[in-house]
Amino acid sequence: MARRIADIFVQMPERDRFIRGMVASIGFKLVAFADDRHERCAGSEYPLAKLVRLAADAPLEYPMFFVRFSSIVILGFLVAFVGVAAYSFYV
C-alpha cells in the first residue's frame, strides 16, 4: 500500500474496520500483487463469533449507521405486527 493511501486510510472514521472494503472505497487504482503464501499451519486466530460478525459487517459497513437504524425500525414493526396478530387471534 502506498504511503498516500495509508495516510488517507488512517484518517477514516470507521470504528469496525473492514480493510478490503475501505481500501477499495478510497478510489485509487487497484493493482494485483502476485504473492506466494505459505500454507496455514494453525488455522485462524479469530474465534467463530468474530468471524461471523466480520462476515455480517463486511457488506453492510457503508454507511453502517443507516443500516443499524433501519434494522431497529424493521424489528420494531415486526414486534408490532406480531402483537397485532396475537391480539386479533385472542379477540
Q: What is the pLDDT of residue 75?
A: 95
Mean pLDDT of 12-29: 73
pTM here is 0.38
Residue 60 neighbours by CB under 8 Å, 6+ apart: 67
Mean pLDDT of 45-56: 80
Q: What is the pLDDT of residue 86?
A: 94
Burial state string for 14-41 with b = 16 or more CB within 10 A and e = fewer than 16: eeeebeeeebeeeeeeeeeeeeeeeeee
Q: What is the pLDDT of residue 84?
A: 96
Q: What is the pLDDT of residue 62?
A: 60
CA torsion through residues 64, 69, 73, 75, sign: positive
Mean pLDDT of 51-58: 76
Hey, which bits of 1-91 come out as E strands?
none
3-state helix, strand, coil in the chain (%, to 5): 60, 0, 40
